[in-house]
Structure 1
């Protein structure tokens, strides 16, 4: 049973992670691999709306995806987008990245290898990781103007779509923790975290939503 306080705290963290950017046309879209095929759906929708001519899907597998996406997150995303009408030639696959930092670095290398000019990029993530992803991208590829995007939905709708409330709140707590500790480790740009967001995260941590937390001396993003 998840308490009313935990739901309220998760909602506060969810709201903070949302960047609220206005989606606009960009040079490329980078879809960050995860357990959530909704990232591929949203990327396909934005492609059909003319928001980018080129897509990079990036991601290998993780403990939450190795069974459901055995061919790799990026490849499953590509297949999904093609099913939704995106031309295969408009999609590049980056199949090695295992964390957000690698998503950005490896996507950049792939685009440079293909001589694709990039001045702006739509960064498409899960809804509760917009800010974390944005802070990582700004740190690792500062020359690009980043626009955050995700599937437009409420936290309750997202929980229903995943079907596992505890997993979502664990993931939220993990995203918020990284946003708070990784700038000092050089993995992200610093974000101004309001006190009530910090307090909400700490209550979630203390309530046991810890399965996606990392050691504060961790060296991976």
Structure 2
């Protein structure tokens, strides 16, 4: 059972992660692999809406996705997008990345190897990782403009769609921890984190929502 305070703190982290970028057409839309097929759905919607002429899906597997997506996250995303009417010829697959940094660098390198010039990227992630993914891309792919987006869903709606509230809160805490510690490791640009967000994060850690933090068997 998640307490009222913990739920409010998780909502605060959720709200902070969402960047509310005003979207416009970009050279490529990149779907970051995860357990959530909603990323593939959102990417397909953006493609059909004319926001980019090319999709890259990136991701191998993790302990979370190995059973659900045995052929790899990017491959399953591609299959989902094709089901949704995206032409196979408009999709590239990067099947090796196992973390957000690799998602960015391997996608960048794949496009360069194909001779595809990119000046702008539309980055699609899970809702609770928009800001983390954006900060990572700005560090590792600084020559491109990056817009971030995710499935258009409320926190409560997302929890209901996943069916595991504690897992979602644990992942929110893990994403927030990385925003705090990864800039000094050189993995992402520095992010200004408001005091109230830090306090919410610290309370959630104190209540044990820590299975996805670095050093706690994070996937």
Compute the TM-score of the two structures, normalised by the length of structure 2: 0.98
**RMSD across aligned C-alpha pairs, in angstroms?**
1.3
Partner of 2:155: 155
Helix, strand or coil at the partner of 2:56: strand
Question: CA offsets, 1:121-157, max 9 Å, x none?
Answer: 0000000100000000000000000000101110000
Task: Find the residue that maps to 1:121 and give its secondary structure.
Answer: strand
The alignment partner of 1:21 has SS state of coil
String of CA shifts for 1:82-136, please: whole Å, max 9, x gaps: 0000000000000000000000000001000111110000000000100000000
Runs of 4+ in 1 over 3 A off after TM superposition: none
Q: How does 1:135-214 map to 2 (within 5 A)?
A: 135-214=135-214
Output the CA distance in 2 between the equivalents of 1:71 and 1:215. 27
Residue 18 of structure 2 aligns with which residue? 18
Partner residue of 1:61? 61
In the aligned structure 2, how far is the partner of 1:18 from the partner of 1:177?
16
Measured in 1, the distance between the counterparts of 2:49 and 2:75 equals: 22
- Cα distance in 1 between the residues matched to 2:168 and 2:22: 25
Give the match for residue 112 of structure 1.
112
2:127 is matched with which residue? Answer: 127
- 2-side partners of 1:119 and 1:41: how far apart? 24
CA distance in 2, matches of 1:176, 1:103: 18
- Equivalent residues, number: 218
Alpha-carbon distance, 1:215 to partner: 3.1
Q: TM-score, normalised by structure 1?
A: 0.97
Q: Deviations over 1:156-201 (max 9, x none)?
A: 0000110000000000000000000000110010000000000000
Distance 2:63 2:200 in 1: 26
Structure 2 unaligned spans of 5+:
none
Q: Distance in 1 between matches of 2:26 and 2:4?
A: 40
